[in-house]
Amino acid sequence: MKFKIDEGFAKFFWDALLCLALYLLCVGIPCFIPNVTQKVFTGVARFIFLIPILWLLLRNGLRPHMPGVKYFMISLPLAVICLGNMMSLWTSGEASSPNVETLLLDLAFTFGTALIEEAVFRFGMLEALRRTSWRKLSIPLSALLFGAFHLFALLSGSAVGPTFAQAGYTFLLGLILGVAYLYGGFLSAFVIHLAFNFLSSDLYLSCGGWAWDLPFFLWNIGFAVLAFGYAALLFFRRIIKQENYFNPNMTEPESAEQQGDNL
Q: Tell me the pLDDT tens digit for each residue of 113-172.
A: 999 999 999 988 888 888 777 788 888 999 999 999 888 877 777 788 878 888 888 898
pLDDT at 90 over 50: yes
Residue 3 domain-assigned (yes or no): no
pLDDT at 64: 61
So what's the pLDDT on residue 211? 60
d(CA 157, CA 67): 41
Q: Which residue has the higher pLDDT, 120 or 240?
A: 120
Residue 63 forms part of a structural domain: yes
Q: At 87, is the pLDDT very low, low, confident or very high (cuts 50, 70, 90)?
A: confident
The more confident residue out of 195 and 88 is 195
Question: Cα–Cα distance between 232 and 228 in angstroms, integer?
Answer: 6
Amino acid at 191: V
Domains identified in the chain, total number: 1
pLDDT at residue number 67:
55
Instruction: Report yes or no on 182 lying in a domain.
Output: yes
Query: What's the pLDDT score for residue 215?
Result: 63
Q: Is residue 19 in a domain?
A: yes
- Whether 242 is in a domain gets the answer yes
Render pLDDT for 23-81 as a digit per residue (tens, 0 to 9): 888 888 888 888 888 888 988 999 999 999 888 888 766 566 555 555 566 666 677 77
At 240, the pLDDT band (50, 70, 90 cuts) reads low
Judge whether 53 lies within some domain. Answer: yes
Name the DSSP class of 132. Answer: B
Pick the residue with more confidence: 134 or 108? 108
Question: Could you tell me which of 166, 260, 202 has the C-alpha nearest to residue 85?
Answer: 202
Mean pLDDT within 98-111: 85
Owning domain of residue 19: 10-262
Longest Cα–Cα distance of the chain, Å, equals 60
* DSSP letter, residue 37: -
- Sign of the dihedral through C-alpha 177, 180, 182, 188: negative
| pLDDT, position 71 | 58
**Does residue 5 belong to any structural domain of this protein?**
no
Q: Does residue 1 lie in a domain region?
A: no
